Amino acid sequence: MIWFYLLSGLFLGWSLGANDAANVFGTAVGSKMVRFKVAALVASVFVILGAVISGAGAAHTLGKLGAVNAIAGSFTVALAAAATVAWMTKLSLPVSTSQAIVGAIIGWNLFTGSPTDLNSLGKILSTWVISPILAAVFSILLYKLFKFFLGRARIHLLELDAYTRAGLILVGAFGSYSLGANNIANVMGVFVPASPFKDLNILNVIHFTGVQQLFLLGGLAIAVGIYTYSYRVMTTVGNEVFKLTPVMALIVVLSESLVLFLFASQSLERWLIAHNLPPIPLVPVSSSQAVIGAVIGIGIAKGGKGINFNILGKIASGWISTPIAAAILSFVLLFFMQNVFEREVVRPVTYEISQDVLNKLAAENIPVRNLQSLNGKQFKNMYKFRESLQQREALNESQLYKIFELAEVDSFYIDSTLASTELDAEMFSPEQIEAVKKLHGRLFIHKWQLDDALAQLSPAWRLKPNTIRNKFFNKNILKKRQILYQVFKKRHL
């Protein structure tokens, strides 16, 4: 059955290949500098490499946006996103799978009553505005630089043509790798918890994880999409917004690749933090918006006379309508999947309002006076839990998200033997492991209770004030907490 559910992810991968992958080589193909067959081959190979080697990237941010926890729900969310992208591709509009999957996940949140993390959503939406502007700025600066250099260098036209073709392929390969690394999570990320693949050890030399095998499958689907349906979108990007010369095409692809790199580079983030500069958020970036921004930048640098504003308006309407259409389609499909086909689209999660939870909420400055009547009550349905909360207190989406997070019932039993055998001594400090062992025999029903207990025992488990300088320290602590949840989760109550 899992293989049937994976079909929607493969469909979404095909849609990504047909639409987003065209952004990397669209200008090169549109300007006739690179043949479509060469572009498709290079893009396919490097998209697959990026997906398999560095594909974990954006899954964390999307996971915080909405925790789709049932395989039939994952299938439906991916299907809604894929159908939306395929529809936009049919209209020759360069939209983004990131936009579609974000809309589809929000559709799942609305259907199930799960609150949306507005902080994560705000980060993602901000990149949809910033990335095309940034690409346009890069494009203008690079155009001025190239114009200055080529105006003084005496390069024969044939040599310039050869250099430009080689540059387009090299930069396109880099852009394809970045696209695979950043966007494969959109395609297969929702299926990771239900991956049918087991880790492989090939001659004790190559370790091929189940997730990497899943991403390889998604990468192959993207490659099929590139070969079968990407040509139309490439010509839209390369020809219809603004007529590009070969050198301009190179500038556009380089500008787009730089934007993808900026929003994906942990090394750059560390450098900015080390110099007390605000880091660039590591979130999924739409390559479609970046490449269109870069093309517009060239048009502005040339005086703006050649920009086709009719096509530009059509593309912008696609950017706005894609997440909305995906959210509506996801909601409708989830209704049919649950009520007509009787499939579980959301796994039951238990929430409990106890006095401990109320005290914790009050400490977070969330109004709880009218929630006292729920003290001691449990809910197994997200929608009914949300409804009960809103009937008693006027809560915004961020406050609801926090209540869902703190009231979720889980179970963690601390066994010091597991602490010795399962916690990697190279990752956890001796002080951290010792603090975990001191909790031997304790049972915690909320994650935050385990976090608080460890923070009281050892400063090595305490989060520091939320400043730029402390960002990596806190990120490391949160990562270790996730490992503790997996190791000590009690599965048989």
* Residue at 346 is within a domain: no
Please indicate, yes or no, whether residues 331 and 412 belong to a single structural domain of this protein. Answer: no
Structure tokens at 5: 């559910």
Please indicate, yes or no, whether residues 1 and 79 belong to a single structural domain of this protein. Answer: yes
Start-to-end CA span in the chain (Å) = 28
- Are 234 and 25 within 8 A, CB to CB? yes
Please indicate, yes or no, whether residues 33 and 141 belong to a single structural domain of this protein. Answer: yes
Q: How many residues does the chain have?
A: 493
- Are 222 and 51 within 8 A, CB to CB? yes
Please indicate, yes or no, whether residues 370 and 243 belong to a single structural domain of this protein. Answer: no
Please indicate, yes or no, whether residues 375 and 235 belong to a single structural domain of this protein. Answer: no
- Are 429 and 460 within 8 A, CB to CB? yes
Q: Which of 312, 340, 368 is the last residue of a domain?
A: 340
User: Distance (Å, rounded) from C-alpha 183 to C-alpha 20?
Assistant: 9
User: What number of CA atoms fall less than 13 Å from residue 219's CA on the CB side?
Assistant: 28
Where does residue 113 fall: left (phi above 0), alpha (psi -120 to 50 degrees), or beta otherwise? left
Please indicate, yes or no, whether residues 371 and 296 belong to a single structural domain of this protein. Answer: no
Nearest to 450 by CA among 413, 492, 491, 398: 413
Structure tokens at 154: 């005496």
User: Distance (Å, rounded) from C-alpha 191 to C-alpha 177?
Assistant: 22
* Residue at 161 is within a domain: yes
The overall longest dimension of the chain from CA atoms, in Å, is: 81
Radius of gyration of the chain measured on its C-alpha atoms: 25
Q: Using H for helix, E for strand and C for coil, what is the string for the chain?
A: CHHHHHHHHHHHHHHHHHHCCHHHHHHHHHCCCCCHHHHHHHHHHHHHHHHHHHCCCCHHHHHHHCCCCCHHHHHHHHHHHHHHHHHHHHCCCCCCHHHHHHHHHHHHHHHHCCCCCHHHHHHHHHHHHHHHHHHHHHHHHHHHHHHHHHHHCCCCHHHHHHHHHHHHHHHHHHHHHHHHHHHHHHHHHHHHHHCCCCCEEECCCEEECHHHHHHHHHHHHHHHHHHHHCHHHHHHHHHHCCCCCHHHHHHHHHHHHHHHHHCCCHHHHHHHHHCCCCCCCCCCCCHHHHHHHHHHHHHHHCCCCCCCHHHHHHHHHHHHHHHHHHHHHHHHHHHHHHHCCCCCCCCCCCEEECHHHHHHHHHCCCCCHHHHHHCCEEECCHHHHHHHHHHHCCCCHHHHHHHHHHHECCCEECCHHHHHHHCCCCCCCHHHHHHHHCCCCCEECCHHHHHHHHHHHCHHHCCCCCCCCCHHHHHHHHHHHHHHHHHHECCCC
What are the tens digits of pLDDT across the range 349-400? 899 999 999 999 999 889 888 888 999 899 988 888 999 999 998 888 889 9
Structure tokens at 175: 């852009």
Structure tokens at 67: 């925790």
pLDDT at 409: 92
pLDDT at 193: 64
Q: Which of 305, 340, 375 is the last residue of a domain?
A: 340
Q: List, in order, residues 6 or more apart from 204 with CB less than 8 Å away.
A: none
- Are 190 and 74 within 8 A, CB to CB? yes
Nearest to 242 by CA among 282, 285, 280, 293: 293
pLDDT at 460: 93
Structure tokens at 199: 């880790």
* Residue at 307 is within a domain: yes
Average pLDDT over the chain reads 83
- Are 21 and 225 within 8 A, CB to CB? yes
Please indicate, yes or no, whether residues 218 and 299 belong to a single structural domain of this protein. Answer: yes
Nearest 5°: the CA angle 174, 475, 185 is 40
φ/ψ (deg, to 5) at 479? -65, -40
- Are 67 and 404 within 8 A, CB to CB? no
Handedness of CA 481, 487, 488, 489 (dihedral sign): positive
Please indicate, yes or no, whether residues 127 and 220 belong to a single structural domain of this protein. Answer: yes
pLDDT at 439: 94
User: Distance (Å, rounded) from C-alpha 71 to C-alpha 2?
Assistant: 8
Please indicate, yes or no, whether residues 214 and 324 belong to a single structural domain of this protein. Answer: yes
* Residue at 230 is within a domain: yes
Please indicate, yes or no, whether residues 292 and 368 belong to a single structural domain of this protein. Answer: no
Please indicate, yes or no, whether residues 144 and 4 belong to a single structural domain of this protein. Answer: yes
pLDDT at 493: 44
* Residue at 345 is within a domain: no
Q: List, in order, residues 6 or more apart from 338 with CB less than 8 Å away.
A: 344, 345
Q: Which of 280, 307, 340 is the last residue of a domain?
A: 340
Residue spans of the chain under pLDDT 50: 492-493
Please indicate, yes or no, whether residues 138 and 227 belong to a single structural domain of this protein. Answer: yes
The number of folded domains in the chain is 2
Other Cβ atoms less than 10 A from the Cβ of 448: the count is 17
Beta strand pairing call for 377-379 and 351-353: antiparallel
* Residue at 414 is within a domain: yes
Range of the domain at 476: 351-490
pTM of the model: 0.78
